[in-house]
């Protein structure tokens, strides 16, 4: 994986017969996260050099119950005078699918995602609008603060609203073992110093160039916003 042309991480990811495995290797660690189904149950586990770090297994029929509970938590109604910060939906149209140039390996440049994320977030209106005043025929997309938490909100003209918390540790997706496992996987990598390791592996000149390009993107987006 690259960041604006700088290689900062190599990882592997492969399908197994009934699920998915992914992992990273660095220094004395070889951390795998595996999801697979067997005997009508879903198993998720994390290992480091073969040692089982975490595991959760639930019957497959419980996934349907979790899905219904998940929908009840994220789908609701919006009130006419609710405030939100709109995001121009045209920003979402600029996202492109990753292209795989090799059957076995692919190179991902996260700088391309940053170039899309920064303008989208800076495009958020400084002052909130009401849903009623902004609603036309098309759904509204934006950010909303509720009970000291931030959410993405998708509001439909029929009065339905889908709200999704920005904080992954407060997301209702945590009830699913696959998502919980990914959060635990990232937390374990952080605990073992993986993110410090990849940060320190940057060349100084590369770091300056990367952050220089990010600063320029922010500046150019801000200038474009101030134009009449």
The Cα–Cα gap between 38 and 222 comes to: 52
Which structural domain range is residue 38 located in?
2-226
pLDDT at residue 127, rounded to an integer: 72
Which of the pair, 95 or 64, is modelled with greater confidence?
64
Residue 200 has pLDDT above 60, yes or no: yes
Q: Coil, helix or strand for 29?
A: strand
Q: What is the pLDDT of residue 183?
A: 93
How many domains, in total, are found in the chain?
A: 1
Residue 99 structure tokens: 């292209």
pTM of the model: 0.67
- Stretch 115-142: mean pLDDT: 72
Report the alpha-carbon distance of residue 105 to residue 122 in Å, rounded. Answer: 34
Exposed (0-12), middle (13-18) or buried (19+): which is 16, by Cβ within 10 Å? exposed
pLDDT digits (tens, 9 = 90+) for 61-77: 999 899 999 999 999 99
Beta bridge partners of 150: 145
pLDDT surpasses 70 at 15 = no
């Amino acid at each position: 994986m690259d960041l604006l042309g700088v290689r900062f991480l190599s990882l592997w990811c492969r399908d197994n017969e009934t699920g998915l495995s992914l992992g990273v290797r660095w220094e004395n660690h070889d951390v795998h996260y595996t999801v697979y189904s067997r005997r009508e149950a879903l198993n998720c586990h994390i290992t480091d050099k073969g040692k089982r770090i975490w595991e959760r297994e639930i019957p497959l029929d419980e996934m349907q119950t979790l899905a219904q509970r998940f929908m009840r938590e994220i789908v609701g109604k919006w009130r006419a005078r609710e405030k939100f910060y709109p995001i121009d939906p045209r920003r979402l149209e600029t996202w492109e699918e990753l292209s795989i140039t090799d059957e076995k390996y692919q190179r991902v440049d996260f700088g391309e995602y940053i170039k899309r994320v920064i303008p989208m977030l800076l495009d958020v209106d400084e002052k909130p609008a009401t849903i009623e005043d902004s609603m036309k025929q098309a759904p509204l997309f934006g950010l909303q603060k509720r009970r000291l938490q931030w959410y993405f909100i998708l509001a439909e003209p029929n009065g339905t609203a889908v709200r999704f918390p920005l904080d992954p540790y407060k997301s209702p997706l945590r009830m699913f073992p696959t998502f919980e496992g990914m959060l635990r996987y990232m937390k374990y990598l952080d605990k073992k110093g993986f993110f410090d390791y990849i940060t320190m592996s940057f060349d100084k000149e590369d770091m300056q160039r990367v952050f220089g390009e990010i600063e320029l993107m922010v500046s150019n987006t801000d200038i474009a916003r101030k134009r009449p």
